[in-house]
């Protein structure tokens, strides 16, 4: 965790002798600027390196938990915005955060942050403080050099994706009302607090109240619970997620589209009358989808995420699953 500079006190003492005061005064005149410089350097170093000692993501499943909402990101690396490498996002593809001087992130994250900030401002009467956002690869290397094992390996910082925001102004304190507000409202704007950054994180060095992430897949799927989704909107969700989570586009998307049309018509309430198969991917039984979220009965997003992983694990690709489905009668996969 970031070390915080202690409060500086400036209580003077009445000098007993003028000559002593004069000597001290001269000494201070020499030392104070140097001390000030040291303090300044320390503050800069703290700002640069004092965050995200463990803020790495190396793939696999990341769980983002908010009050009333849990988002499971099954393959966060695929969510790298625009297909750029970590820390290598072209400057032209980054956008400045209008309410935070010098801060920038990917443009979709910035757009979502503006909406988040507007809601926050309505509650607290001021903008969200942003202390860090996008970090280029070069920045990550510099931090690694300065901080060693306490810094993320260059190329693996969450901040290199342009999706992570370090927030202050109270949000950087687990016990504040600002933090509680973010926990309750962040997910409405696709901003999540990763479970690795929670207070009960197994590694206390990763307990980072200030670290929040924009999750592109969540943003494109609308509100956390999409129980009102139609088959058409579910199909659109599926297409986005198949691309983001698995890289399945073109023919692979066409196979997936046909497979789940045949299975459920992309209806997330589809309930097989002769078996306990349920939902868009027709998981058998439906409760298997609980591994992707407790809302598997009502949330098409949860069902799609589970189904994509199922196909990847069992068949490798949607076209392999579709071929298998067509070879069997009655059809199943
Ligand atoms: Zn961070």
pLDDT at 204: 61
pTM above 0.85, yes or no: no
94 DSSP β-pair partners? 106
Do residues 163 and 215 make contact, with C-beta atoms less than 8 angstroms apart? yes
Q: Residue 241 is inside which H or E element, if any?
A: helix 231-241
Ligand 1 centroid from CA 132, angstroms? 7
Do residues 282 and 264 make contact, with C-beta atoms less than 8 angstroms apart? yes
- 309: closest CA among 289, 333, 285? 289
Do residues 283 and 276 make contact, with C-beta atoms less than 8 angstroms apart? no
pLDDT at 315: 97
Ligand 1 centroid from CA 88, angstroms? 17
- 285: closest CA among 301, 306, 300? 306
Residues 34 and 233: their CA atoms lie apart, in Å, by 63
Fill in the DSSP letter of residue 283: B
Does residue 56 surpass a pLDDT of 50? no
Ligand 1 centroid from CA 217, angstroms? 19
pLDDT at 34: 52
Average pLDDT over residues 179-192: 87
Ligand 1 centroid from CA 298, angstroms? 32
Residues in the chain: 333
Ligand 1 centroid from CA 107, angstroms? 18
- 158: closest CA among 47, 243, 58, 44? 58
Average pLDDT over residues 284-293: 88
Ligand 1 centroid from CA 134, angstroms? 9
Average pLDDT over residues 282-286: 94
Binned at pLDDT 50, 70 and 90, residue 156 comes out as confident
- 51: closest CA among 214, 155, 164? 164
State what percent of residues in the chain have pLDDT above 90. Answer: 35
Ligand 1 centroid from CA 81, angstroms? 17
Tokens of 19: 């000559």
pLDDT at 332: 93
Q: Is 175 exposed, middle or buried (0-12, 13-18, 19+ CB in 10 A)?
A: exposed
pLDDT at 203: 62
69 DSSP β-pair partners? 66
Average pLDDT over residues 212-223: 70
Ligand 1 centroid from CA 316, angstroms? 34
Ligand 1 centroid from CA 159, angstroms? 6
pLDDT at 220: 58
Tokens of 184: 């309750």
Domains along the chain? 62-220 (3.30.1380.10), 231-327 (no CATH)
Does residue 36 surpass a pLDDT of 50? no
Do residues 55 and 143 make contact, with C-beta atoms less than 8 angstroms apart? no
Ligand 1 centroid from CA 333, angstroms? 41
More confident residue, 141 or 223: 141
As a whole number of Å, the end-to-end CA separation of the chain is: 48
Phi and psi at residue 213, in whole multiples of 5°?
A: -130, 140
Average pLDDT over residues 174-199: 88
Binned at pLDDT 50, 70 and 90, residue 73 comes out as low
Mean pLDDT (the chain) is 76
Tokens of 304: 């799609």
Ligand 1 centroid from CA 8, angstroms? 27
Q: What is the pLDDT of residues 229-256, one digit of tens each?
A: 678 778 888 888 898 888 999 999 999 9
Q: Which residues contact 107 (CB under 8 A, 6 or more apart)?
A: 93, 94, 95
């Amino acid at each position: 965790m970031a070390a915080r500079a202690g409060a500086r006190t400036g209580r003077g003492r009445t000098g007993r002798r003028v000559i002593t005061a004069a000597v001290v005064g001269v000494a201070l005149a020499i030392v104070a600027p140097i001390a000030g410089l040291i303090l300044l350097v320390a503050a800069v170093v703290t700002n640069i390196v004092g965050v995200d000692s463990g803020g790495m993501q190396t793939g696999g499943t990341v769980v983002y938990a908010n009050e009333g909402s849990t988002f499971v990101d099954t393959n966060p690396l695929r969510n790298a915005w625009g297909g750029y490498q970590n820390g290598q996002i072209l400057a032209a593809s980054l956008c400045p955060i209008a309410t935070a001087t010098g801060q920038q992130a990917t443009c979709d994250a910035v757009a979502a942050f503006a909406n988040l900030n507007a809601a926050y401002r309505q509650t607290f009467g001021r903008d969200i403080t942003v202390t860090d956002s996008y970090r280029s690869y070069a920045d990550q290397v510099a931090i690694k050099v300065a901080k060693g094992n306490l810094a993320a390996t260059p190329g693996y910082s969450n901040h290199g994706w342009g999706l992570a925001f370090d927030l202050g102004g109270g949000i950087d304190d687990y016990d504040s009302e600002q933090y509680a507000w973010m926990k309750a409202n962040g997910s409405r704007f696709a901003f999540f607090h990763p479970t690795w950054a929670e207070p009960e994180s197994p590694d206390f060095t990763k307990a980072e109240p200030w670290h929040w992430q924009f999750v592109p897949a969540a943003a494109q799927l609308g509100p956390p619970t999409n129980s009102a989704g139609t088959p058409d909107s579910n199909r659109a969700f599926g297409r986005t997620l198949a691309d983001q989570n698995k890289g399945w586009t073109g023919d692979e998307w066409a196979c997936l589209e046909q497979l789940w049309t045949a299975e459920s018509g992309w209806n997330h309430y589809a309930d097989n009358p002769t078996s306990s198969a349920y939902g868009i991917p027709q998981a058998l039984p439906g409760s298997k989808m609980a591994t992707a979220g407790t809302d598997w009965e009502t949330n098409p997003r949860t069902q799609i995420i589970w189904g994509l992983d199922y196909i990847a694990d069992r068949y490798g690709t949607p076209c392999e699953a579709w071929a298998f489905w067509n070879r069997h009668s009655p059809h199943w996969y």
